[in-house]
Amino acid sequence: MLLLAAMVLAAGAAAGAAALAVNIMERKQEARNPFYRVVELTDDTVDPAIWGKNFPLQYDDYKRTVDQVRTKYGGSEAIPREPTANDPRTVTAQSRLEEDPRLKTFWAGYAFATDFREERGHAYVLEDQLFTERQHVTKQPGACLHCHASVYVTYKKQGEGDLIKGFEKVNAMPYAEARKLVEHPVACIDCHDSQTMQLRVTRPGFLEGIRALKASQGVQNYDVNKQATRQEMRTYVCGQCHVEYYFKGPEKRLTYPWANGIKIENILTYYAENGHKDWTHAETGAPVLKAQHPEFEMYNQGIHARSGVACADCHMPYKREGALKISDHHVRSPLLNVNRACQTCHNWTEAELTQRVTTIQDRTFELRNRAMDAMIALIGDMKAARGAGKTDADLKTAMELQRRAQFMVDFVEAENSMGFHAPEEAARILGIAMDLARQGQLAVRQPDYTPNLFPSTTPSVKPTEREVTPAPAGGTGSGTQGGGGTNH
């Protein structure tokens, strides 16, 4: 009996060991073959569903960007609406104009004072651009598709193989005409090479913008797809769209204002040099600027960029699916995924990490509200001065102060992290904006007032040998002043 029991146990152990060995071999083989070539992809395959046949795990995540989950200072909740002939959507995001009516005064005379809602996931970027009420109050150009659609193949076709020529052609089209040329929102082909799956930049705006930025730092003819590291690319593919931009000239060429650098003072100087304005403020007559969504610029001033952390590390963190390690293509706020997005680097509880983020955002939001109050007060004073008969000449200084202060407040308002990407920079910008707005009120009252447009950044105390010197080039290598750059 003992011998029989020993034989049974030995047989069981052998079978278990064999099963484990087979499982290990299967997992190793699975890891060697991260995808199966079910279909052939080409450089013209736009539909993400076709890519999904070869990459089902990533595609399943991509489809989940339809989720609408609100965090305290971002994301969106699903607001039911009655569909109409002009807008068939049954759900939209909450209105920011209803949440903060001051924004209507802030953007008076501009399309954003008509309709401005919380951001939704990548799945909605094309749909929400098409059906926003802003389309009814202004003539938007085809340049808007640069960030709201999968345009790589469209640009190539319109340019007969020349990406830049196609870009230029689509930019100048009326939006309604250009919209007929695209079918999908941001898709796989916009960030990946179809044959190698390597990350790549396909948006001409970024190709030209990063080249201009590098040239300002002494690096000529920079080719991002040849010279950027893989970790840099994990930020650059996001920076294709999450940036400040404007439409240049009558041809509406989408341009990133980075020729002087990407700090807000660099961008303001750029706009001052070329005289660009987005609109004339309806209540003050000032030629003002509208910030877009400068996540890339703000992130580059923060500690994560300086530490070599890429956008994808937090918004698309790695995860395990069986034996595979993949990036999570359910692109979303790290606050909805603290375990993988944050705790990989930060050895604290989810509650502690969430509280740290909330504290930063609460403080930024308080400063944002104070800066917004200062702007509304300045606009009110200028409007009253207009009503009392003051002219453009009388309000020239006040209008310049409004232009600068308004752009600075909007830079933080439009940036979708409520200060988290670069807390100190957000606070600095809002503090200067408040000062400029209050100076504007003085300029309304005192025609001979001489403003201090850019408070000095020269340190009042001479650096000592004990101070920490800047880190050497590395990290994301994004080549910016103030964070994560090669010349910080």
pLDDT tens across 268-282, in order? Answer: 999 999 999 999 999
Q: Under a CB-based contact definition with an 8 Å cutoff, are residues 440 and 380 in contact?
A: no
Q: Under a CB-based contact definition with an 8 Å cutoff, are residues 174 and 134 in contact?
A: no
Cα distance between residue 175 and residue 140, in whole Å: 6
User: In 221-263, which ranges are continuous DSSP H helix?
Assistant: 224-227, 230-239
- pLDDT tens per residue across span 186-239: 999 999 999 999 999 999 999 999 999 999 999 999 999 999 999 999 999 999
Which residues of the chain carry a pLDDT beneath 50?
457-488
Cα distance between residue 185 and residue 243, in whole Å: 17
Helix and strand totals (H; E) in the chain = 22, 10
Task: Look at residue 232 in the predicted model and tell me its pLDDT.
Answer: 97
Q: pTM of the predicted model, to two decimals?
A: 0.86
> For the chain, what are the domain ranges?
61-89+103-332
Task: Look at residue 23 in the predicted model and tell me its pLDDT.
Answer: 64
Task: Look at residue 424 in the predicted model and tell me its pLDDT.
Answer: 98
Residue 261: strand pairing partners: 259
Helix (H, G, I), strand (E, B) or coil at 479: coil
Residue 414 tokens read as 């439009």
Going by C-beta distance under 8 Å and a sequence separation of 6 or more, which residues neighbour residue 303?
422, 483
Q: Which DSSP state fits 422?
A: S
Mean pLDDT of the chain: 90
Q: The domain 61-89+103-332 is classified under which CATH number: 3.20.20.70, 3.30.1490.100, 1.10.1130.10, 1.20.210.10? A: 1.10.1130.10
Task: Look at residue 19 in the predicted model and tell me its pLDDT.
Answer: 75
